Amino acid sequence: MGLMEKIEEIRKKPEHIRRRYVWFFVGVSMVFIMMIWVFSFEDWTSDQVMKPGSYDNLSDVANQFEIQKDSVQATVDNVKNAIGQDVVNKMQDGNVKENLNK
């Protein structure tokens, strides 16, 4: 018996029987989803727990943050220098224009 024939057979049954089918499949679906949730939750919590030897990973992360901090600081310094040089150039251009007007 195919799926479509089974659906047609269920459609012909009284409403209270059809409701039983609906609630049965809702329950089966809920159990399936709950199982997926429980297994994924167990996997997620096992990743979150600090394990012995994981401090090495923390020191690696700290080193990466230190490298990133140095890189950001260098970028900020470069931007400050560029802005300062731009201001100096504009001031010199202003002085040149003032000298031309004299």
Do 44 and 64 fall into the same domain? no
Which DSSP symbol is given to 2?
Answer: -
pLDDT tens-digit series, residues 58-100: 778 888 889 999 999 999 898 888 888 887 777 777 665 555 5
pLDDT given for residue 90 in this prediction: 79
pLDDT given for residue 51 in this prediction: 58
| Domains of the chain: total | 2
* Matching residue, tokens 């096992």: 46
With residue 38 as reference, give the H or E element that holds it: helix 15-48
Longest dimension (CA), the chain: 104
Tokens linked to 48: 């979150």
pLDDT given for residue 15 in this prediction: 94
Do 42 and 56 fall into the same domain? no
82: domain range? Answer: 52-102
pLDDT tens-digit series, residues 2-54: 989 999 999 999 999 999 999 999 999 999 999 999 888 777 766 555 555 55
Do 45 and 56 fall into the same domain? no
Angle 69-76-58 (CA atoms, 0-180°, nearest 5)? Answer: 5
Which DSSP symbol is given to 69?
Answer: H
